[in-house]
Amino acid sequence: MPIKVQNNLPAKLVLENENIFIMDENRAMSQDIRPLRIAILNLMPLKEDTEVQILRQLSNTPLQLDLTFLTTASYTGKNTAQSHLEKFYMTYEDICEQKFDGLIITGAPVEQMPFEEVAYWDELEKIMEWSKTHVTSTLHLCWGAQAGLYYHFGIQKYEMEEKLFGVYEHRLLHHKEPLVRGFDDYFFAPQSRYTYNKREDIMANEHLTVLAESDEAGVFLVMSEDGKQIFVTGHLEYDRVTLDKEYKRDIAKGLEIKKPVNYYPGDDPEKTPKLSWRSASNALYCNWINYYVYQNTPYEW
């Protein structure tokens, strides 16, 4: 899929080196079609890594996407250069009068805090409320999924005894839903979190459907009845070494952390991690773009 990004976005060069087609602004302007407008609210601390991961997943359909990266105005992290944010990112106030075909809300390392104590919670509430009328479909990831379930449906999150960390097997519950077309009956997905949503809370809401879950990791994929809100509790966008970097970073800090499960061959952190979730990731993002964004969005907002 041709992804339209700013000409000098660093992620563009990374993906082009992977032989992924990224369309620059000049070429996009020469094509007489309406690209799908996708906003990405990037709440992760290492924003450039997340840019590459998500752009990689959005590169597998023939549709042209016009991407807008968003960050919070009420909080600025210390892990991404301010110059990068000023050059490539916008805030809610910049786009609040605009309409988008799709929105992705990423995870964030704030899950052990009550939602209302997160520095940018009020701003995130505005964005999630705005998405009801200005976005065709929103994809929420990890903490972003917990935040969305809480804001839109009042679903609480709960603390785990220890961090859920590794690659877990999940099973499909609804094979005929377009969002999971191409999925196997069982598939793997990375998880990295300290909190969870109770299955019974979600199942009790008549507007929500659980599409996939895991005996070890719990509920994984949830969708509202109209597909306007989709929640993924894990990280199908992660690349091969993301969990490895997280594990070795925490070890270097002297933190107590177990090795990610089902990840290293022979459970040996010196070996190259196994990549076992790419096909599920490709299917999820392609299906979301096609069936819940492209097929449902008006040609003219």
Catalytic residues: 142, 235, 237
Cα 268 from chain centroid (whole Å) = 28
DSSP E strand boundaries for the chain: 3-4, 22-23, 36-41, 65-70, 89-90, 100-105, 135-141, 158-172, 186-196, 208-214, 218-224, 229-232
Alpha-carbon distance 41 to 39, whole Å? 6
Query: With 0-12 CB in 10 A as exposed, 13-18 as middle and 19+ as buried, what is 24?
Result: middle
159, 214, 222, 207: which is closest to 185 by C-alpha?
214
- What are the counts of helices (DSSP H) followed by strands (DSSP E) for the chain? 10, 12
Instruction: Give Cα separations from 188 to 106, 260, 261 (angstroms).
Output: 19, 13, 12
Alpha-carbon distance 78 to 70, whole Å? 16
Q: Which two tokens stand for residue 117?
A: 């104590």
Place of tokens 């110059």: 83
